[in-house]
Each structure stands twice: as structure tokens, then as C-alpha cells.
Amino acid sequence: MTIEAIAVDIDGTITDEKRHICISAIESLRKAEANGIPTIIVTGNVVNFAYAAEVLIGCSGGLVAENGGVVFKEGENNNAVETLVERSFVTSAEEHLKEKLGEKFDKHASHDNMYRLTETVFYKTLSEKELEDALKDFKFLDELEIYDSGFALHVTDKRVNKGTSLKYLCERNGINMDNVMAIGDGQNDEDFLKQAGYRIAVGNAEDKLKEISTYTCKNNFGDGVAEAIEKFAL
């Protein structure tokens, strides 16, 4: 088994249910980096949050943020954040939702939307059904994807996802997707796990993700990440 890179989600994967990063995951990812295996952060979070996690852990592979809408890697693209999709459909959806949801929009919209370049996010205090109902008559509905990350609901342009953007980043850096180990826990991780040769679900992952995985960890959250890295990469 040859692992050229590790692609890992943040929330619910290297962090626990309280969004605390697990020390075991950090230690194992650093060991992999020391052995020449770069880590790529793949997340639904905003790019500045993802970059902070990347620096904290010591990852060198770059990052995919906003469920594939954004990529970044030190030393590439003149060190600029790269958006992979125009925001037009999402911006139109946002205006539609403001009209349909009224006061609920501001009440449930994520505070980090001001930093988001390609998607709009709601806290899970708003139900997915309420969001779907409000979008039923949106004229560009077929252009959107709604992801439940486990921590929030993401309205995203369907032309990109974690998988397409991870593949783009890897191909640009000469990494064979067959040799990528992808680790995740939730619905929005399915796309990037499907692109990887080694598909890992941490123990707390959704059943659907476990079904498409080549290995399901015995341990949850970051301890599962450490388990997979020790077993397959080191």
C-alpha cells in the first residue's frame, strides 16, 4: 500500500462533538508529515478557519474549504485563495431565502457567512425541511446542493464539491488519487471519499459513509484518524 497524501475533514473527524481537536489526530498527522506524507484539509469551514487548523497541525498539502468552493496551497496561485465557482446561483438563493424566511434568515444564518466566498450556511436551529421548503420555488434550485455537515446546513453550488476540488488540487501537485487516503464522518464527506483510493470512515461516521468506505475505524473522531494513519500510512 502506497499513501501519497492524507485528505481529512475537520468537524466530527479530527474534532469531537464539541469541536475540540483531538491530540491523537494531531500527533499522527504530524508523524505522517515527518514521513513525507502531506495532509490536505478538506472541510465545509471557511478558508481562514481551515488555514488556522492547517498551521496548528502542521499540514503541508493545502486545503479545500467551503465544501469544494475554495482551494488554497502555500506557494501556488501567487499565494492567493482560489475560488472554483462563481457565487451567482448561491447569491440568488440567499436573496430568495431572505424573502421566504423573513426574520428566520437572520436568526439562523451562520455568523461566518460574511467570510464565505461561495456558499451560504445556516445553523441547525433551522431544520433541513424548512430550508428545502423555502427553496422549493427557487428558479435555480437544480443548480444547488444542500449539505448537512452535522454542525450546519450548507447551500452550495452543485458544480463543485469536496471531491472535485480535492482531485483538482491533487492533480495540480502530481498526486495520484488512487494513493490518497481520505478520512471523514458525514454526508458532505461522501464526495471526496469516493474520489480516493483509500476511503476511511471514523467510528462515529454516518452509516451511509461507512457503507462506501474501505475501512471503518473502531475509534471515534480524532482517535479514529490516528488509528487509520497508524494502520495504513506509517
CA 41 – CA 217 distance, rounded (Å): 19
Closest C-alpha among 161, 183, 144 to residue 59: 183
Whether 9 is catalytic: yes
Q: Which of 9, 189, 191, 223 is catalytic?
A: 9
Spatial contact of 118 and 112, defined as CB atoms under 8 Å apart? no
> 209 exposed, middle or buried (CB, 10 Å; 0-12, 13-18, 19+)?
buried
The three grid cell numbers given for residue 177, joined into one nine-digit string: 488519487
In contact, 47 and 80? CB cutoff 8 Å:
no
Q: In terms of C-beta density within 10 A (0-12 exposed, 13-18 middle, 19 or more buried), how is residue 117 classed?
A: middle
| Helix 128-135 / helix 88-101 crossing angle, nearest 10 deg | 100
Between strands 152-157 and 39-42, the pairing is: unpaired
Q: Which residues are catalytic?
A: 9
